[in-house]
Structure 1
Amino acid sequence: MFAKIKAWARNLKRQIFILYFACKDERVPWYAKAFTACVVAYAFSPIDLIPDFIPILGYLDDVILLPLGIMFALKMIPKDILSDCEVKADEMMKNGKPKNWIVGSIIVLIWGLIIIWAIIKIFSFFS
């Protein structure tokens, strides 16, 4: 059973990398690129729609919403482009995932702003 779950997770990771390369491909239509970018950003983002610390529901978005988004995104992309992206994704799976410091910095900045806003609201509430 754990082997099946592990294989499923590995395939999901591979599909996310395929979508990552599809986002960068200029042959992908703009609407598919926009939807795919949202799915990839959600997959790589540490921010979840439902926080993981909530029992059962916390992992529901990772188990249901993300695979559905991947499925719809894969259907929007032409097959020839997908086959090119699959080759690139397989190479990346062997070499390791990319590091995008700009996007990581933006996520940290957003979290920092949220924390600062929350602190200001808390202090203004008590004063």
Structure 2
Amino acid sequence: MAWWQLLLGVLAGSVLLYVVLLALLWGYARLHPDTVSAREALRLLPDVVRFIKRLAGDGSLPRGVRVRLGLLLVYLASPVDLVPDVVPVIGYADDAVVVALVLRSVVRAAGPEALDRHWPGSTTGLQLVRRLAGISASGPA
């Protein structure tokens, strides 16, 4: 097998994997529209960014949690996305899914008390973030 055939195979496999991931993301966004709407997420964005910065700076949280939050901030600030934001629906959905997954992971490691302690916004916003993180009013989902 020539080097160019190998390179072509790797490229085709990468494109196929990317298309499959996009399809999964699209499916997730379509199956879970009630989690948090795009309008609600955009309204929450400034509070969520401040919240993530506060959590990342909390020395009482485990180092792994702070590292995940720091990487999330870098991802959100980066112009490079899994799906470009110009792609309708899933362009912003990928950011929301990544934030939700990291928040769920952080809540499992740090506990929901960390959410309550560091949330800078309104009570309504905190309820939306708790829903995004998979926490009901009575505890983790």
Normalising by structure 2, report the TM-score: 0.47
RMSD: 2.8
Say if 2:105 is the partner of 1:72: yes
Q: Does 1:30 align with 2:30?
A: no
CA contact (8 A) 1:50 1:61 kept: yes
- Distance in 1, matches of 2:107 and 2:42, equals 17
Aligned equivalents of 1:70, 1:5: Cα separation in 2? 17
* More helix by percentage: 1
The runs of at least 4 aligned residues of structure 1 exceeding 6 Å deviation read: none
Which residue in 1 is equivalent to 2:18? none
Distance 2:67 2:82 in 1: 19
8 Å contact kept, 1:52–1:59: yes
Query: 5 Å matches for 1:22-61?
Result: 22-54=55-87, 57-61=90-94
The question of whether the paired residues in 2 share the 8 Å contact of 1:15 and 1:70 is answered with: no
Give the length in aligned residue pairs.
Answer: 86
Gap change, CA 1:55 and 1:11, over 3 Å in 2: closer
- After TM superposition, give the deviation of residue 22 of structure 1 in Å: 0.8
The share of aligned pairs that are identical, in percent, is 21
Segments of structure 1 that go 5 or more residues without pairing to the other structure are 92-127
Runs of 5+ consecutive residues of structure 2 not aligned to the other structure: 1-36, 123-141
Larger relative contact order (CA 8 Å, sep ≥ 6)? 1
Structure 1 length-normalised TM: 0.51
